[in-house]
Amino acid sequence: MTDEAGFWDRVREGTLSFCRCRACGHAWLPPSPECPRCLAADAMFEAASGRAELLSWVVFHKAYQDSAKGRVPYVVGLVQLAEGPRMTTNILQDSNEPGVGLHAGQRLVLRMADDGDMLRPCFVEHTK
């Protein structure tokens, strides 16, 4: 079943997945059992390649969730996976100035961030 629990089960295994409709081929996130394009209830999870493109981003200077308190300031970006779906995620940088050097169209790669009790799918700049 392509639900949120199934998504996080795969993340815990170190895999970022998205939903793909068996009826029409559409790919999407966040996970749901019905295709948002054709409404078929015939979806499966597919592993992402880990490649993405940065579309937009914002730097947060306030933690809106307890889990983010130790990361302020941090970057939240909208990325488009190579396979098509878009997702909102953290953009990790080595810079002391979050957001500096980012640009629309920038190539990114997946990195699972370990928060101790869970993994989070994040993205970093592709260096090759």
Say whether pLDDT at 86 is over 70: yes
Which string of DSSP letters, residue by residue, matches the chain?
--SHHHHHHHHHTT--EEEEETTT--EESS--SS-TTT--S-EEEEE--SEEEEEEEEEESS-SSGGGGGG-SEEEEEEEETTS-EEEEEE--SSSSTTTT--TT-EEEEEEEE-SS-EEEEEEE---
Predicted structure pTM score: 0.91
- With a CB cutoff of 8 Å and minimum separation 6, the contacts of 4 are 30, 31
| Closest to 32 (Cα-Cα) out of 75, 8, 2 | 2
| pLDDT single digits (tens) 32-57 | 989 999 999 999 999 999 999 999 99
Arithmetic mean of pLDDT over the chain: 93
| Closest to 90 (Cα-Cα) out of 13, 105, 63 | 63
| pLDDT single digits (tens) 72-85 | 999 999 999 999 99
| pLDDT single digits (tens) 7-37 | 999 999 999 999 999 999 999 999 998 999 9
Q: Please indicate whether residue 26 or residue 127 has the higher confidence score (pLDDT).
A: 26
Q: Where are the domains of the chain?
A: 4-47, 51-125
Query: What integer pLDDT is reported at residue 128 of this predicted model?
Result: 62
**Domain 51-125 classified CATH 1.10.3470?**
no
| pLDDT single digits (tens) 111-125 | 999 988 889 999 999
